[in-house]
Structure 1
Amino acid sequence: MIHIEFVLFPGRHHLLTAFQAEYLHRLAAGSGATIVWAVTSANHDNTRRNPVPYHRREAAIERFSLVSGLRSLVVPVFDTAPTDTFAEVTLKSIAVATGLDLTPADTVVACSTPEVAKLYERLGFPIAPVEADPDLRITPERPWDVLLRLAAGDETWRKLAHPATIDVFERYRLVDTVRTVVNDPLVGDEGGLTATRDYRTYVEAFADAADRKWAAVRQHVRPGRIVDIGCGAGAVLELADREPGLHESDLIGVEVARHLYSECVHKKAQGVFRNANVYFYQRNVLGGAIFADRSVDTTLTFALTHEIWSYGRQRDSLLQFARRIFDHTAPGGVWINSDVCGPADRRRPVLLRLAADDGDNPAGPRRDLATLDSGEIKGYVSSLSTRARLDQFAADFAFPFTFEAVGDDTVRLELGAAMDFLTRKDYVDNWLSETKEQFCGLSFSEWAQLLAEAGFELDAASTPIRNEWIIDNRIAPVATLTAPDGTPLDWPDTHLLVVARRPRNS
């Protein structure tokens, strides 16, 4: 029988329960043991797995300790990749933060997750199984289950949660935040749109294009409150920061992906921005209003709207997004959107001839790419001929389309499907991510209709665009496009620039 000086309680601790208070009191009864709360994923928030930021979790634990009469230490533990040394990493984090070297001779580990408990048992620590205790007459709900009740709008969560959590959640309006994040249809568990995206290459590509994107929109930017939604790593805002005419403006970046948001915050901390009024938020606009109505002068979106279309409910989600922007735009303010778009006649049947001699031509597409690592996927897709790559694209594309082979190197299909393939076929670094996205969901005229429905007026500067570099360097060398009767066709528009204004009298 050990003399308990410490109870190590590892976990995410987004929500504390009344059962935990009762259990910890029994565990520490008579010994005056200190509860060491190892708060894991402390550097994550605004994701489904981690909807509450660390500093709010810490506040609730401290209040829990005060109300419960328990002596506590709260230690943040940053997220790591899954590892069998999780217990050792946690113990080292505690030692660095507090100077305490917890040992099996003086510490009991309170843990209800069998896989985690085994890692501590392997080091010799005795385990208190908390909600998993077989001696309990009734199995209590775990904190995460109570949190899911909250997210579902079930008010019985208040009967199970500890008053400290209820108090902090209400004071800081976390109930709505948790519901929004957990129920978000777009954002993944780790705060991104897709788990297969290589954010390093994404950041590099966006940074390379930032000068061109900013040059195309600068003349339409209205000074004041300028918001870049889907700001990536903040490359465009860096250019806005250098504009003398915008030095009195607020520059605000909104990014949903945790990796990119973290890079924005890092840049600001390193002094990249000269304007003192630069701010970043990790948010998803579809989850609810971020800015007050009529409060934003310019909203910028670059290469974002096709993602909203692809990961949401297509036109419904895009219209919802447009209405959100309209609501927060000041009268006379502007939304500038630069993105891909579909051809004017997306449903038109065409013949597409593709090079078949520029790579391998297997008998059929692979169906197991999701089991490979990113390097293997890149190597395999890169090895395919353009014609064979179409077969693989059709197998992986999240928006099914049909095509008919007409000879060894020619297929009959709709123009929109042809352009979705041709504009995506070279994205081998993020193949499984890119094949979840549709570039040609809306044509320019369909965009104009959607914006009018949201309340915007289309500026004369708005226009469909054909990216000649992509045509000349990526498409034309390996493909030809004709009508079904063999008449050659021009390559259609691939992008758009939209300058949408909220009427001054609205």
Structure 2
Amino acid sequence: MYILIPGRHHVVTNFQFQYLYRFIHTQMEAEQDRRGRALPVSEIEGIIFAVTSANHEGTRRNPLSYAHRAMAIQEFSHDLTVPVYCYPITDIGFRSDFASYTIKSILHQADDFFDLSPENCIVACSTDVGDLYEELGYSVFGAERNVAANPWELIERIAAIPHWSSDRIILDEIHPASYRILKQYNLGGRIQFLFSDPIASDDGDITDTRDYASYVRQMDENTHIKWKDVASFVQPGRIGDIGCATGSWLRHATEEPRLNESDFYGVELTRQLHDICIQRKNNGEFANPNIWFARKNAVTGLVFTPGSMNTIHSSSLTHEIESYGSHEELLRFIKNRFDELKPGGIWINRDVVGPEEKDRIVLMKLNRTDHSGDSSLTELSTYERFFRFAMDFRKEEGYSLSWDEVPVGDEDYIKLRYEDAAEFLLTKDYTDNWESEMHERFCFWSYSQWIGALKGAGFEIDSRSKVFTNPWIAENRFKGKVELYREDHEPMDYPPTNFIAVARKPM
């Protein structure tokens, strides 16, 4: 008889060791399943740990890597006197067939050696996942259910207690194998860092509403332009890209001959995008092998060693910090970049920007005929889409967009603040990710405010820094869709869309 223990297994416990040790030496005599029924008396041939969410790490839900979890399990098993096996189970989300998926995954990984069935295997599980195994006919031992602190409760306790390694409850409950791995690799500190993160979700994402297939496609389509715009600013040496998305900007950087002797570092918070970076590296898509990727949060702390970087790059990132975090966190992010640079090093930051006169009242004439007659968001006219924007924009954050419709000649125009008009202009075409984009602020700072914040952190501003209206956006997204006017009906230019700040740490 085998014992299967499915779970995330971020730590193993003394209670787990005790009941497994007892099962082995009593052959489960007088043991009961979680329904109070007698478990079959049988010799234990082996114990199988199925480590679920094995492909996820660095999040509150899955703080530890599969490697660290497997190391603790292997050390935990030394005194159990029967073989202990550990198999990673890839996350597939909640599915009613998850139990059978796990059994099949083990069968495949073990080259058909473990053909587990209710006749040769019992399951030890304290969560509702046990129900799925019972539906397949397996006997399920309740394990920690209503008996002892379960592994996840210990993780939460580690996250909450600064001096977790001397906490008596943790020391009483956690198995020495997990304790040693957590201490040796400073994993307790990593757990505390992840649980204190104010921006990322439990699964390590900034937003749960983004369509990543569309997002990746949009990011990759214009990366060559973004690289061309800033290539001449990049200083060789240690080059980091924070918020590197799919690594496309770094791919261009590794192909630059003058940067051949450089080392490249990509930092990405979002799990889906980090996974793509790793896959691209494994595919050999980067010209320079000296490239590394890490999942880190650049808001809550440093991601590079202080005073170590020659160039730091970020693009379309800083507005997300203001949008999903707070103004204080954006200021902290700026200071972190200053601290990471060597004297003379530069931070290149490209992002969206707001107009200078944000509170000026402007008039918008919106195209009413550029629609298909379909009621879907994508097919709405620019005029119709504004009303959807006015209703949705940062509604969950409590923002109420103020506007009015006023007659000008024989047509009605939209009257509103210049900042809100600019937000609409910059956001209206992101229909693939509308729900996600409605959380984001693009125009909270004008260019002069950005420069002031950078100088306030200690940076010097390179004269090549600039603010501009992207000509492609103006031609393809503004022209023929929106016309802007002053309150006196005088025509206005389109607002700036982007800035590039080349900020240097003084020598």
- Taking structure 1 as the reference length, what is the TM-score of the superposition? 0.90
Return the match for 1:24 from 15, 20, 23.
20
1:297 has 2:310 as partner: yes
| Letter aligned with residue 424 of structure 2 | F
Which letter maps to 2:403?
F
Partner Cα distance (1:43, 1:199) in 2:
18
- Which residue identity is paired with 2:342? A
Contact persistence 2:299–2:330 (CA under 8 A): no
Q: What is the 5 A alignment of 1:24-173?
A: 24-31=20-27, 33=44, 34-66=46-78, 71-98=83-110, 99-114=113-128, 116-132=129-145, 139-153=147-161, 155=164, 156=167, 158-159=170-171, 160-173=173-186
2:427 pairs with one of 424, 428, 431:
424
User: C-alpha displacement at 1:67, in angstroms?
Assistant: 5.2
Q: 1:216 is matched with which residue?
A: 229
Q: Aligned partners of 2:281, 2:446: CA distance in 1, in Å?
A: 37
CA deviation map 1:17-76 (0-9, x unaligned)? 222222333344423622210000111111221110100000111112225666411110
1:372 matched residue in structure 2: none
Partner of 1:406: 406
CA contact (8 A) 2:251 2:287 kept: no
Where does residue 454 of structure 1 map in the other structure? 457
1:231 aligns with 2:244: yes
- Code of the residue aligned with 1:343 in structure 2: it is P
Q: TM-score, normalised by structure 2?
A: 0.90
d(CA) in 2 for partners of 1:25 and 1:113? 21
- Residue 187 of structure 1 corresponds to 200
| 8 Å CA contact 1:36, 1:74 repeated in 2 | yes
- Alignment deviations for residues 119-157 of structure 1 (CA, whole Å, 9 cap, x no partner): 111111001111225xxxxx4232212211211226346
Question: Counterparts in 2 of 1:349-368, with a 5 A limit?
Answer: 349-359=361-371
Counterpart position of 1:12: 8
Aligned twin of 1:368: none
Distance, in Å, in 1 between the alignment partners of 2:93 and 2:203 is 12
User: For residues 384-419 of structure 1, what are the alpha-carbon distances to aligned partners after superposition, in whole Å with 9 as ceiling and x for unaligned?
Assistant: 222221221222222522212225742221111111
* Amino acid corresponding to residue 351 of structure 2 in structure 1: D
412-421 or 330-339, which deviates more: 412-421
* 2:438 corresponds to which of 425, 435, 439: 435
State yes or no: 1:396 paired with 2:404.
no
1:382 alignment partner in structure 2? 378
Measure, in 1, the Cα distance between the counterparts of 2:196 and 2:376. 36
Taking a change above 3 Å as real, the CA distance of residues 421 and 69 of structure 1, as seen in their structure-2 partners, is: farther
- The one-letter code sitting in structure 2 at the alignment partner of 1:141 is A
Shift in Å at residue 468 of structure 1?
2.0
Query: Would you say the 8 A contact 1:180–1:288 is kept in 2?
Result: no
For residues 118 and 472 of structure 2, what CA distance do their matches in structure 1 show? Answer: 65
Moved more, 39-48 or 201-210: 201-210
| Residues 324, 440 of structure 2: 8 Å contact kept | yes
User: Which residue, 463, 467, 473 being the options, matches 2:476?
Assistant: 473
Alignment coverage as a number of residue pairs: 477
User: What is the CA distance between 1:360 and its match in structure 2?
Assistant: 8.0
For the Cα contact (< 8 Å) 2:307–2:341, is it kept in 1?
A: yes
Is the 2:344–2:506 contact (alpha carbons within 8 Å) kept by the matching residues of 1? yes
Q: Is 1:245 equivalent to 2:258 in the alignment? A: yes
Partner SS state of residue 83, structure 1: coil
**Post-superposition shift, 1:380?**
2.1
Does structure 2 retain, via aligned residues, the 8 Å contact 1:344–1:443?
yes
Q: Deviations over 1:258-312 (max 9, x none)?
A: 2211111111112222312111112111232221111000001011111111111
CA distance in 1, matches of 2:459, 2:14: 51
Q: CA RMSD in A?
A: 1.9
Letter in 1 for 2:94: P
Task: Check whether the contact 2:373–2:379 (CA below 8 A) recurs between aligned residues.
Answer: no
Deviation of 1:189 (Å): 2.5
Partner amino acid, structure 2, of 1:233: T
Amino acid at match of 1:402: S
Cα deviation, residue 81, structure 1: 3.2
Name 2:294's counterpart in structure 1.
281
Whole-angstrom CA distance in 1 between matches of 2:445 and 2:82:
59
Is contact 1:7–1:36 with CA below 8 Å preserved after alignment? yes
Q: Secondary structure at the match of 1:285?
A: coil
Secondary structure at the aligned position of 1:43 is classed as coil
Structure 1 stretches of 5 or more lacking a match?
134-138, 363-378
1:219-244 Cα deviation digits (max 9, x unpaired): 11110000011111111111111111
- Helix, strand or coil for the counterpart of 2:427? coil
Runs of 4+ in 1 over 6 A off after TM superposition: none
Residue-by-residue CA offset, 1:425-482 (whole Å, 9 max, x unaligned): 1111111111111111111111111111211111111111111221222113121211
Unpaired runs of 5+ residues, structure 2, are 28-42
Given that 2:486 and 2:492 are in contact with CA atoms closer than 8 Å, whether structure 1 keeps it comes out as yes
